[in-house]
Amino acid sequence: MNKRLFALLSVLVLASMMLAACGAKATETPAKEASEGAATATEAPVAAATEAPVAAFECTDAIGCVDIAPGEPVHIAYWGVLSGPDSSLGEDSKRGVEIAIDDMGGKFQGHDILLTTEDAGCTPEGGATAATKLATDTSIVGLIGSSCSDETVGGIATITNAGLTTISPSNTRPVLTKPDRGPDYAGYLRTAHSDAFQGKAVAEFAYNYLKVTKAATLHDGSTYAQALQQVFADEFVKLGGTIVAQEAVAKDATDMKPVLTTIAAAKPEFLYYPVFVSVGGYVTAQIRDVAGLENVKIAGSDGIFTADLLKGGGANTKGMYLSSPDFSAFTGDYAGFIAKHTAKYGGSTLSTFHAHAYDAANILFAALAKVVVADADGTLHVGRQALRDAIYATKDFKGITGTLTCSPSGDCGAPVIAVYEIMNSDPASWNPSDATNPNPKKIFP
């Protein structure tokens, strides 16, 4: 009997450890102050305020206002995955936001811009935790994030209800910007493409370019991977191909050989696994060890478009295909952005959505500039609904990724997808924006 109690106790302990492990950590990164040297001269007009009492600002906004007193910063928060195997994805976008802030000189109408971050861990639970923390901070004006569609699914209701609006640079799950997505998503827009485009592009690549007719898919249970592989499967069948297997593993799985053996039994010519970094690395490292999959063509998507895949996947990553936003189709000054990125951080970009994050931050600042009300003493007032409406009203915005117009359901992206091939499995060689010797290299369309 004691034994049974003991087993029950251990199960409870395990469960609590799992919950605890999903907790998120917060870090603060104040906006860099190095680049703002000249900006001090533009301090707001302070002198006029003392006499002639101006009619006090009255907040008439439906969901409240943020007031920023003189000397207080304009508080922007970034939420996304900043820890664990997928931290490159979140870190990459965060850099885009930081460069956008640098371009403003670190200041918005005389106020410092403060950027804080909240780790959401690429899980729905992490997203919910981060959203709750963000919702309680009333000084936050606007949000950039999240990284993973799962985080948005977990946190968006809290964010919308707190009167906040977030622009995601990298969520690609189609349903997030569907016209019937529901009122919880009122505070959600994205500059990333929808996977309705990405899945189709990969299907066309596989069927028309690689000329394969039998494909299999594998996902890691995340809403992103689940939806994307399904779009691919549907489009591939429409083109005339056959899907011979659709399998899935848990996000923390490590031994992929059994599931790959099951896939091998279906004899695919092409395996598509648009997963995240952990599963992506393990699958790639083990796939050639499984009898029947030695020569199958393999492809992933933007979730593993990072040098971390090469670290986990090893030599097998050479010749693997990855879909991603098409950098060469960006209409804005992408080369200029890369130059700033290199100057600030050194090395290559970490993942694929830095430019989308840069655009998202600039859309937020442009909307903010439209709705902000400044008192004579420099106090700023921002109506939350007004800001949200202004973001949705974004039209013909000249960003890096293209000329962006936000749809009523929150889609601001300019979706052009390309497929890249990994030319070299050494993580140090990763540099998709290298002019002469890019790795990975664009091969389709």
Partner 1 sequence: MRTSFGERLLDLAVNGFLWGFRILIVVIVVLGTFLTIRAGKYTSEQWIDFVVFGISQGSIYALIALGYTMVYGILRMINFAHGEIFMSGAFGGYFIATWLTGIGFMDKYPVFGLIISMMFGMLVSTLIALLVERIAYRPLRGAPRLVPLISAIGASFFLQYTFRGFFGPGVYAYPSMKALDGEWIFFGIGILKVQIVVTIAAVVMMSILYSIVMFTKIGKAMRAVSENKDVAALMGIDVNRIIVTTFALGAAMAGAAGVLYALTYRQVNFFTGFTPGIKAFTAAVLGGIGNIPGAMVGGLVLGIVESVGPALFLDSIGIPRPYQLKDAIAYIMLVMILLFRPSGILGERVSKKA
Q: Which residues bind partner 1 (CB under 8 A)?
A: 2-4, 7, 10, 13-14, 17, 20-21, 83-85, 87-88, 221, 246-250, 252-255, 257-259, 261-262, 264-265, 277-278, 281-282, 285-286, 289-291, 308, 310-312, 314-315, 427
Q: Minimum distance between the CB of residue 15 and partner 1, rounded to whole angstroms?
A: 11
Q: Minimum distance between the CB of residue 259 and partner 1, rounded to whole angstroms?
A: 4
Q: Which is nearer to partner 1, 182 or 258 (CB)?
A: 258
Q: Which is nearer to partner 1, 63 or 275 (CB)?
A: 275
In DSSP terms, 108 is beta-bridged to 111
Q: Minimum distance between the CB of residue 151 and partner 1, rounded to whole angstroms?
A: 17
Q: Which is nearer to partner 1, 92 or 326 (CB)?
A: 92
Q: Which is nearer to partner 1, 413 or 427 (CB)?
A: 427
Q: Minimum distance between the CB of residue 289 and partner 1, rounded to whole angstroms?
A: 5
Q: Which is nearer to partner 1, 277 or 422 (CB)?
A: 277
Q: Which is nearer to partner 1, 7 or 369 (CB)?
A: 7
Q: Minimum distance between the CB of residue 131 and partner 1, rounded to whole angstroms?
A: 22
Find where tokens 């010519």 sit. Answer: 269
Q: Minimum distance between the CB of residue 108 and partner 1, rounded to whole angstroms?
A: 32
Q: Minimum distance between the CB of residue 221 and partner 1, rounded to whole angstroms?
A: 6
Q: Which is nearer to partner 1, 308 or 411 (CB)?
A: 308
